[in-house]
Amino acid sequence: MTTQQMHMNEQQHTQIDIAAVEDFQSRFRGDLIRPDHPLYDEARSIWNAMIDKHPALIARCTGAADVIEAVRFADRNDLLVAVRGGGHNVAGSALCDDGLVIDLSMMKGIYVDPVRRIARAQPGVTWGELDRETQVFGLAVPGGIVSETGIAGLTLGGGFGWLSRKHGFTCDNLRSVDIVTANGELVTASKTENADLFWGIRGGGGNFGVVTSFEYDLHPVGPEVMAGIIFHPLYAARDVLRFYRDFTAAAPNELGSMAVFLLAPSAPFIPEAMWGQPAIAIIACYVGAVEEGQRVMQPLKTFGKPLADAIKPKPFAAQNAMLDAGQPAGLQYYWKSEYLSEISDDAIETCVQYAAGITSPHTRVALFHLGGAVRNNDEADMAVSHRNTEYVLAINNGWKNPADNAKQIQWTRELWTAMRPFSNGGVYVNFLSEDDGTRVRAAYGSDKYDQLVLLKNKYDSSNRFRVNQNIQPATL
Ligand SMILES: Cc1cc2nc3c(=O)[nH]c(=O)nc-3n(C[C@H](O)[C@H](O)[C@H](O)COP(=O)(O)OP(=O)(O)OC[C@H]3O[C@@H](n4cnc5c(N)ncnc54)[C@H](O)[C@@H]3O)c2cc1C
């Protein structure tokens, strides 16, 4: 009998009868990609090229029926499973070594009901694709600020972007999901059906099953909004951040923004002498009327002596794609993150000092402004946590050359260590890196984490879905 070696878990291998794989193939409509398949290397590539994993089998699903077959196949053969949505998670949890990848990236269906203001989308959809279909009607789901990020992982971890101060986390706008649980059953979860599961998947990531369809509430946005980026030289960063602190404290909920340290790009609207020099930028997006946005942005546009001001009326979808080029797929990425309650003078000083050491055009040290409608829901309403956070510190380091990995990782960790005293103790689960597994409890807080363990015991007691920011069932 011919067999194929696959991973059961991190310690054990299992031999799978090739006939079992062929039986799975006969029930499966999508492509099953094995290591000898011409598309194998492409299919195991994700956004973060630092993650180099070799799955035994990649099951490219075409719909919910394929997902059910894949989960049942994993269950029958006790396989290690990874789930891939948009493949954008920095920790690389869309892949696993030797096991089965349930790849949803081909599931691109989107249906928009503009009258009821509801959208349904499959898990291979990216934010750019969803924006395109919803913005035709002047509607949007609060999603991420990079258009190539997958809606699936982002929504399940909570999700925030330019619309969040007005309409909350992405998962606050989720009406229901269809989800294949660890036993291979497809169920609907909403506030009225399987409500406990719905509580858990809104923030609990991929711990409870494979979501095959997301149903969202839509909100009127744009299509034109007042938005863009304004650059200042690094020497002005202390003043700019103190201004930003006051500006955000008084900001209406329509204003989403972040301050970001970076190297000034070689763009025609930036003085050439500044290209590649450390700088600070404020990126902002006003999601109400353009004229109102112009008024609200006036203090931002007139503060100090900007190097360049590219804040203007523009399509909302263009604002959501503006940052794509700076964080392209296929580079080396390593992130660290913390939630902050405030931007103190000492935190500013620390950031400014480290920003002088930025060497890659793909490095971003961001302070994203949260608050606003994120606080409208109760902390107990769902798994997503730390609603009282005011700013998200995201040290998003990216660079081209793998030979620089040790140096860049060290710089990231040093800045993170220096910034930790300013943390409120929380962290965003979707910004955790591969070596951040011990921080999952902090991402939820102890009480919420313990509640999630009870739910994991109920829905996935064997921890089939463990290649993620894992909530370990107490039964193991
Ligand atoms: C450049 C960049 C910009 C980002 N910007 C933002 C932002 O503005 N706001 C924000 O909130 N986050 C942002 N993120 C973080 C983002 O939320 C996470 O990376 C998220 O995990 C991406 O989802 P994905 O489907 O692309 O990822 P994947 O890597 O495909 O999936 C990540 C994990 O999610 C789970 N998962 C994915 N699909 C499913 C499914 N259908 N069912 C069950 N589990 C599933 C799995 O556990 C998987 O390991 C950004 C990330 C990047 C790289």
Confidence (pLDDT) at 4 = 66
Q: Give yes or no for residue 250 having a pLDDT over 60.
A: yes
Q: How confident is the model at residue 17 (pLDDT cuts 50, 70, 90)?
A: confident
Closest CA relative to residue 61, chosen from 180, 154, 192 = 180
Confidence (pLDDT) at 213 = 98
Closest ligand 1 atom to 123 CA: 41
Q: Which residue has the higher pLDDT, 12 or 249?
A: 249
Q: Give yes or no for residue 1 having a pLDDT over 80.
A: no
Confidence (pLDDT) at 116 = 98
Average pLDDT (42-68) is: 97
Q: How confident is the model at residue 13 (pLDDT cuts 50, 70, 90)?
A: low
Closest ligand 1 atom to 333 CA: 53
Distances (CA, A) of 397 to 95, 257, 352, 357, 370: 21, 20, 16, 12, 21
Q: For ligand 1, pick from 149, 208, 465 the residue to mutate: most ligand atoms within 8 Å of CB.
A: 149
What is the per-residue pLDDT across 448-459, written as a single tens digit (0 to 9) for each? 999 999 999 999
Confidence (pLDDT) at 3 = 65
Residue 382 region, left (φ>0) first, then alpha (ψ -120 to 50), else beta?
beta
Distance of CA 107 to the CA centre of its chain: 18
Structure tokens at 263: 């190297």
Q: For ligand 1, pick from 156, 187, 431, 432 the residue to mutate: most ligand atoms within 8 Å of CB.
A: 156
Q: What is the CA radius of gyration of the chain?
A: 22
Amino acid identity, position 121: A
Which residues are bridge partners to 123 per DSSP? none
Average pLDDT (119-146) is: 98
Question: How far apart are alpha carbons 54 and 34 in whole angstroms?
Answer: 10
Q: How confident is the model at residue 338 (pLDDT cuts 50, 70, 90)?
A: very high
Quickly count: other Cβ atoms within 10 Å of residue 461's Cβ: 13
Which CATH fold topology does 224-438 show?
Answer: Vanillyl-alcohol Oxidase; Chain A, domain 3 (3.40.462)
Question: 366, exposed or middle or buried, with CB in 10 Å at 0-12, 13-18, 19+?
Answer: buried
Sign of the alpha-carbon torsion through 18, 23, 26, 31: negative
Cβ–Cβ under 8 Å, residues 224 and 316: yes
Ligand 1, CB within 6 Å, residue ranges? 47, 83-90, 93-94, 104, 123, 144-146, 149-150, 152-154, 156-157, 159-161, 205-206, 210-211, 327, 430, 468
**Token pair 């060497």: residue:** 359
Size of the chain, expressed as the number of residues it contains:
476
Which residue ranges does the chain devote to CATH 3.30.43.10?
3-103
Amino acid identity, position 151: I
Q: Are strands 224-233 and 312-315 parallel, antiparallel or unpaired?
A: antiparallel
Q: 3-state secondary structure string, the chain?
A: CCEEEEECCCCCEEEEEHHHHHHHHHHCCCEEECCCCCCHHHHCCCCECCCCCCCCEEEECCCHHHHHHHHHHHHHHCCCEEEECCCCCCCCCCCCCCCEEEECCCCCCEEEECCCCEEEECCCCEHHHHHHHHHCCCEECCCCCCCCCEHHHHHHHCCCCCCHHHHCCHHHHEEEEEEECCCCCEEEEECCCCHHHHHHHCCCHHHCCEEEEEEEECEECCCEEEEEEEEEEHHHHHHHHHHHHHHHHCCCCCEEEEEEEEECCCCCCCCHHHCCCEEEEEEEEECCCHHHHHHHHHHHHHCCCCCEECCEEEEHHHHHHCCHHHCCCCEEEEEEEEEECCCCHHHHHHHHHHHCCCCCCCCEEEEEECCHHHHCCCHHHCCCCCCCCCEEEEEEEEECCHHHHHHHHHHHHHHHHHHHHHECCCCCHHHCCHHHHHHHHHHHCHHHHHHHHHHHHHHCCCCCCCCCCCCCCCCC
Cβ–Cβ under 8 Å, residues 255 and 267: no
Average pLDDT (181-195) is: 98
Quickly count: other Cβ atoms within 10 Å of residue 441's Cβ: 14
Which residues are bridge partners to 60 per DSSP? 31, 103
Question: How far apart are alpha carbons 224 and 40 in whole angstroms?
Answer: 41
Confidence (pLDDT) at 15 = 73
User: Measured in angstroms, how far is the CA atom of residue 93 from the centroid of ligand 1?
Assistant: 9
Closest ligand 1 atom to 158 CA: 11
What lies within 8 Å, CB to CB, of 435 at 6+ separation is none
Q: Phi and psi (nearest 5°) for 307?
A: -70, -35
Which residue ranges does the chain devote to CATH 3.30.465.10?
110-220+445-459
Top CATH class of 110-220+445-459 equals: alpha beta
Q: Does CATH place domain 3-103 in 3.30.930.10? A: no
Closest ligand 1 atom to 179 CA: 42
User: Measured in angstroms, how far is the CA atom of residue 147 from the centroid of ligand 1?
Assistant: 12
Q: How confident is the model at residue 476 (pLDDT cuts 50, 70, 90)?
A: low
Whether the ω angle into residue 223 lies within 30 degrees of 0, i.e. cis, is yes
